[in-house]
Structure 1
Amino acid sequence: MRTILVGASLFALSAGAASAAGKLNFYCSAQEEWCQIMARGFEEATGIDVDMTRKSSGETFAQVKAEATNPKGDIWWGGTGDPHLQAAEEGLTEAYVSPMRDQLHPWSLAQAASAGDRTIGIYSGALGFGYNSDLLAANGLPEPKCWEDLTKPEFKGHIQIANPNSSGTAYTTLATMVQLFGEDGGFDYMKRLHANVNQYTKSGSAPIKAAAQGETTVGIVFMHDAVAQTVAGFPIVTVAPCEGTGYEIGSMSIIAGARNMDEAKQFYDWALSVEAQNLALQVNAFQVPSNMNAETSDKAPDFAAIKLIDYDFKKYGSSDERKRLLSKWDSDVSTLPQ
């Protein structure tokens, strides 16, 4: 069992207070191990009981929306920022200004500003893909270095990506292609990619896990998820595409009407602390943390070496734009033969 190292100096309660602590219903859209260590870490720091539910960001957004008249969750942590921004726009999340904000990177605060303080950035990660070098060699495939390489006929049946309706990772991919190549060019790319996809998964990280297990050659994911598979000992090579790429600002939001609002605010403050953000290193989560004093792994993708687009979070995180792009993907891309 992992030891959870939590410096709880700002958040520790006396034994008496801890015994009287409440509970927290925690919706988590990061990797399972990270969700678990955050839940257990907060329990240790505060004595508050945490009931954690892990789903992808698209699924969690749908659940928060479905429960809007009778909220069951208190806080939503992790997952791509776009659905958090949409939830903010639809009034599904609560505005909150944490006393921890002076410790955060500007990109984290920009996320909060664009949502009227109804969400905030907790980590950042660049989009890319990873491939299984053993399978690539066994199939005589050329080393892919660019997005365009993945549309070559020889990659037919060798690529996995998540479904953008359920996965924030895949929606970020769709929005990235539209911003890289224009809307017509972006959808043309998604159509050509579709011809080579062997499966659309529910979870954004599932494609690279499948590649690690030898079930597919290429997985389109956030680069930190590919690095995690390499660190775990699998023959995965991580690629920052040559044309440029988008990125995510993983976010956190308090759910409007939360039953345990005080506990939700306590978690929010704790999750922005150095101590909480450093827990990522224990579970091989290689994102860049939002607290300026938190540690970034030396194995994390180097943002300075990646050609990043100026991703328009406000536009592509808006409810209308997200619905429009997903509807167009459903009608123009997913229905095509493979």
Structure 2
Amino acid sequence: MTKYLTGALASLAAVLLASTAIAQTELTVYSAIEADDLEKYAARFNEDHPDITINWVRDSTGIVTAKLLAEKNNPVADVVWGLAATSLLVLKAEGMLEPYEPAGLDRLDPKFRDTDTPPAWVGMDAWAAAICFNTVEAEKHGLTAPTSWKDLADPQYRGHIVMPHPASSGTGFLDVSSWLQLFGEEEGWAYMDALHENIKEYQHSGSKPCRHAGAGESVIGISFEFRASRTKADGAPIDIIVPSEGIGWDMEATAIIAGTANEEAAKTLVDWSVSDKAMELYNEGYALVAVPSISRPVEHLPEDFASMLIDNDFEWAANNRSAILDEWTKRYDGKSEAQ
């Protein structure tokens, strides 16, 4: 009996040791990925790497960026997975990113990676501005559909437009920075002055304006294409409008935070973030991903969506981010949503 008991205990010990061998390495991952997709992203990653647990810290782009900058001297995050490239360029300038060349880097479209070798960050997918237009509410108020950005300054839309706050939302910042590039700085600020007259509220999320419009709480929500296509797919009575002047865009990207104590696990996540499996995951919501051969059209978006993206100067946007936000806040913050 003792012999069998001893054998059983030995087997149990072996199981426990095996469990310890695949004990979880925990990564603190900061992200602005849509909240309803976090579980899916972690689950797909864990299919291949069950030994790494992701502890998400998720918020809007501007809030995540501010949090990372505030933690510069005492970093908490190990990895950033899904944050605007313009934000990562700001972090790179502060020396906060650990350069790393992930496996399969040569498959990426060159514009979806940092220009240094090894790169400080690598891209995942592009997200771009879009207008969510509630056709039912528009009919109630006798409003015609806009076709361009400049149409939104028409007085018929006064009090019917919500848009993201550029300091807290990456979508809001890409709107403002793209208007300044499209129209020039003087005309761009003049346009935003006129648009401000029609704004009901600046909201602290890139998704919320489209949800707001989809629910009939406003007629027009300036948002981004991922949330627009998903809101329409969920049955909201919206048309997705891509303004004729072209649309601002940014890319979600991934980077390792310098000084992480979990460098190997962090590299494993970054390797996976540019894999075919990851790109197929991103393409479930985003039409344009970093590996061009994997990009496929997304339901409810134009098939030529990529051709509508402006030639966005990410370096300019990153270098001027603070000045742009300071000026925007002085002019328009009075209509911001309470936090």
**TM-score class normalised by the smaller sequence:** 0.7 to 0.9
Residue matched to 1:25: 28
In 1: Cα distance, 2:81 partner to 2:289 partner: 13
Residue matched to 1:308: 309
* Counterpart mapping for 1:1-338 below 5 A: 19-47=22-50, 48-109=52-113, 112-113=114-115, 117-280=119-282, 285-299=285-299, 300-303=301-304, 306-318=307-319, 321-335=320-334
Residue matched to 1:9: none
**Quick one: structure 1 residues 305 and 78, their matched pair in 2 at CA, closer, same or farther if it must change by over 3 Å?**
closer
Q: CA deviation at 1:291?
A: 2.4
Residue matched to 1:11: none
Indicate if the aligned counterparts of 1:82 and 1:316 stay in contact, CA closer than 8 A. Answer: yes
3-state SS in 1 of match to 2:175: helix
Matched residues, percent identical?
Answer: 31
Give a deviation string over 1:58-95, Cα, whole Å, max 9, x none.
11111111111221111112232211111111112211
Q: CA deviation at 1:136?
A: 1.0
In 2: Cα distance, 1:134 partner to 1:115 partner: 52
Q: CA deviation at 1:101?
A: 0.6
Residue matched to 2:3: none
In 1: Cα distance, 2:306 partner to 2:266 partner: 37
**Quick one: structure 1 residues 33 and 295, their matched pair in 2 at CA, closer, same or farther if it must change by over 3 Å?**
farther
Indicate if the aligned counterparts of 1:122 and 1:272 stay in contact, CA closer than 8 A. Answer: yes
Q: CA deviation at 1:332?
A: 2.4
3-state SS in 2 of match to 1:286: coil
Indicate if the aligned counterparts of 1:244 and 1:307 stay in contact, CA closer than 8 A. Answer: yes
In 2: Cα distance, 1:115 partner to 1:155 partner: 48
Q: CA deviation at 1:301?
A: 4.1
Which piece of structure 1 moves more, 173-182 or 224-233? 224-233
Structure showing greater radius of gyration is 2
Q: TM-score, normalised by structure 2?
A: 0.87
In 2: Cα distance, 1:250 partner to 1:301 partner: 21
In 1: Cα distance, 2:118 partner to 2:209 partner: 34
In 2: Cα distance, 1:122 partner to 1:280 partner: 7
In 2: Cα distance, 1:301 partner to 1:119 partner: 29
Which piece of structure 1 moves more, 218-227 or 162-171? 218-227
Give a deviation string over 1:202-235, Cα, whole Å, max 9, x none.
1111100111111111111122321111111111
3-state SS in 2 of match to 1:221: strand
In 2: Cα distance, 1:82 partner to 1:331 partner: 22
Q: CA deviation at 1:116?
A: 6.8
**Quick one: structure 1 residues 287 and 85, their matched pair in 2 at CA, closer, same or farther if it must change by over 3 Å?**
farther
Query: Unpaired runs of 5+ in structure 2?
Result: 1-17
Indicate if the aligned counterparts of 1:147 and 1:242 stay in contact, CA closer than 8 A. Answer: yes
In 2: Cα distance, 1:293 partner to 1:243 partner: 27
3-state SS in 1 of match to 2:321: helix
Give a deviation string over 1:274-317, Cα, whole Å, max 9, x none.
11222245xx5234121234352442443457433221111112
Q: CA deviation at 1:45?
A: 1.8
3-state SS in 2 of match to 1:99: coil
Indicate if the aligned counterparts of 2:101 and 2:117 stay in contact, CA closer than 8 A. Answer: no
In 1: Cα distance, 2:103 partner to 2:304 partner: 28
Question: What letter is aligned with 2:315?
Answer: K
Question: What letter is aligned with 2:333?
Answer: S
Indicate if the aligned counterparts of 1:57 and 1:78 stay in contact, CA closer than 8 A. Answer: no
**Quick one: structure 1 residues 266 and 330, their matched pair in 2 at CA, closer, same or farther if it must change by over 3 Å?**
same
Q: CA deviation at 1:54?
A: 1.3
Question: What letter is aligned with 2:291?
Answer: N
Indicate if the aligned counterparts of 1:72 and 1:259 stay in contact, CA closer than 8 A. Answer: no
Which piece of structure 1 moves more, 170-179 or 42-51? 42-51
Indicate if the aligned counterparts of 2:288 and 2:306 stay in contact, CA closer than 8 A. Answer: no
3-state SS in 1 of match to 2:144: coil
Q: How many residues align?
A: 317
Query: Unpaired runs of 5+ in structure 1?
Result: 1-14
3-state SS in 2 of match to 1:227: helix
